[in-house]
């Protein structure tokens, strides 16, 4: 048997802080609909952590990994990417981050890992696939590619009592729109609630997959509005979340082995300017447009004007990114930074030695959208605009996603240039 433990730490902020994720939303939070948490699962000397925030800056994650009791290279810290949480990254997503909350968040992640280690006990792993719940839609192309995989991993103790159930699905946690002013984990809250009801005493860990181009059916630009929408409500979030959880509960489970390992690779990814106009010209045009724009559009233009005057002229320095692969008993868990598209996830899945496997985004850093090369010709928010909201001087260059995928595939094959205990082939024990 292996050893495994879990921990949950509450990170729900008080009312009054600014919510992150929608440029149109300028009013502070009124309170909480459901608690925001940090959840950690430790297997042997490796850890998988999810924080209910929109993203984590790589600098914070580095400190978390160095402060916790486990080897830094063995820890993956991901964000749920809910848009119902406070800003959690310095210099990104425009809203000024509250430094006291950032300190609380960082400490909670360290605490969750250390508590999970201290709670570890003998355990067994099983894994399987849930059926496609039919929730995610490609938000850039009607009928376009999605990653519909629903991997499910169960951890049980020596007496077969549930310790944890881990599920991943690639759909943006943006069922709630910019009109929502309550702290919430969005639809993943209902996934976890249903799973913990189905498996008493287990902690549910939900990982957001590569959802850069997937949500429940609206375009990114549809969120530039403060209007209410019946399809973007807590009732809708509950329907979607429970549908995903129900599919996960039907997954068959096969025993996994006892080998546990971690592998990482660091890349430096380039930026590339796509704007045809000089920043000064863009700023002047947006100033003019803002005079007659509605409140939601004016709020967005304010962010863009700030970008054009303060950020666009910065040097295009490569961005450091970390790709990780955890091997839990033969079950691969691929963790990628930023907002990754389905095409990249499917490219990695094709190289996996076994099914099922996890391919998740928003892990160890969230510097913005990283589209595959095939998407640049279509432009749109994710390619041409989102970097302004993320505080980047330019878009990530074509080929960036492919470089991340190549690094993940190399780690999956057991060839690690950094030598960080690469995952072993299928059947290793």
User: What are the structural domain ranges in the chain?
Assistant: 2-265+320-412, 276-311
Considering only CA atoms, give the Rg of the chain.
Answer: 20
Q: Identify whether the C-beta of residue 41 lies closer than 8 Å to the C-beta of residue 205.
A: yes
The token pair at 79 is 């964000």
Q: Identify whether the C-beta of residue 37 lies closer than 8 Å to the C-beta of residue 115.
A: no
Q: What distance in Å separates the CA atoms of residue 103 and residue 42, rounded to the nearest whole number?
A: 23
pLDDT at position 419: 34
Q: What distance in Å separates the CA atoms of residue 323 and residue 340, rounded to the nearest whole number?
A: 12
Conformation bin of residue 419: beta by default, left when phi > 0, alpha when psi is -120 to 50: left
Please list the pLDDT of the chain residue by residue as tens digits (429 residues).
Answer: 899 999 999 999 999 999 999 999 999 999 999 999 999 999 999 999 999 999 999 999 999 999 999 999 999 999 999 999 999 999 999 778 999 999 999 999 999 999 999 999 999 999 999 999 999 999 999 999 999 999 999 999 999 999 999 999 999 999 999 999 999 999 999 999 999 999 999 999 999 999 999 999 999 998 998 999 999 999 999 999 999 999 999 998 899 999 999 999 999 999 999 999 999 999 999 999 999 999 999 999 999 999 999 999 999 999 999 999 999 999 999 999 999 999 999 999 999 977 779 999 999 999 999 999 999 999 999 999 999 999 999 999 999 999 999 999 999 998 543 333 323 222 222
- What residues does 8 pair with on adjacent strands? 39
Torsion of CA 112, 249, 55, 335, to 10 degrees: 90
Q: What distance in Å separates the CA atoms of residue 275 and residue 280, rounded to the nearest whole number?
A: 12
């Amino acid at each position: 048997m292996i050893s495994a433990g879990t921990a949950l730490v509450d990170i729900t902020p008080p009312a009054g802080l600014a919510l992150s994720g929608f440029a149109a939303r300028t009013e502070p939070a009124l309170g909480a609909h459901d608690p925001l948490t940090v959840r950690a699962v430790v297997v042997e000397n490796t850890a998988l952590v999810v924080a209910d925030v929109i993203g984590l800056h790589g600098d914070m994650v580095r400190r978390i990994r160095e402060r916790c009791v486990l080897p830094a290279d063995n820890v993956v810290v991901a964000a749920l990417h809910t848009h119902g949480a406070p800003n959690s990254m310095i210099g990104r997503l425009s809203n000024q981050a509250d430094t006291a909350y950032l300190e609380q968040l960082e400490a909670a992640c360290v605490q969750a890992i250390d508590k999970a280690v201290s709670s570890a006990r003998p355990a067994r792993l099983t894994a399987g696939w849930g059926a496609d719940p039919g929730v995610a839609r490609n938000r850039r192309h009607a009928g376009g590619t999605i990653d519909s995989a629903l991997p499910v991993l169960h951890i049980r103790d020596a007496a077969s009592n549930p310790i944890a159930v881990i599920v991943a699905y690639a759909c943006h946690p943006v069922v709630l729109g910019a009109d929502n002013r309550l702290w919430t984990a969005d639809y993943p809250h209902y996934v976890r609630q249903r799973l913990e009801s189905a498996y008493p005493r287990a902690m549910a860990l939900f990982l957001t997959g590569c959802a850069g181009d997937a949500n429940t059916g609206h375009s990114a630009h549809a969120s530039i509005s403060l209007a209410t929408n019946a399809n973007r409500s807590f009732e809708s979030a509950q329907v979607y979340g429970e549908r995903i959880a129900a599919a996960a509960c039907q997954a068959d489970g096969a025993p996994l082995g006892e080998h546990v390992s971690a592998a990482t690779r660091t890349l430096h990814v380039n930026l590339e300017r796509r704007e045809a106009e000089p920043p000064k010209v863009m700023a002047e045009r947006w100033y003019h447009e803002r005079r007659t724009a509605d409140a939601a559009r004016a709020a967005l233009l304010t962010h863009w004007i700030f970008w054009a005057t303060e950020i666009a002229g910065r040097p295009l320095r490569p961005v450091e990114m970390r790709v990780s692969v955890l091997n839990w008993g033969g079950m691969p868990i691929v963790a990628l930074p930023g907002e990754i598209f389905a095409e990249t996830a499917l490219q990695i899945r094709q190289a996996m030695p076994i099914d099922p496997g996890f391919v998740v985004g928003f892990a160890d850093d969230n510097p913005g959208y990283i589209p595959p090369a095939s998407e640049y010709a279509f432009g749109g928010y994710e390619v041409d605009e989102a970097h302004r909201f993320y505080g980047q001087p330019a878009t990530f260059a074509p080929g960036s996603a492919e470089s991340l995928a190549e690094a993940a595939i190399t780690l999956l094959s057991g060839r690690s240039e950094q030598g960080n205990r690469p995952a072993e082939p299928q059947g290793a024990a």
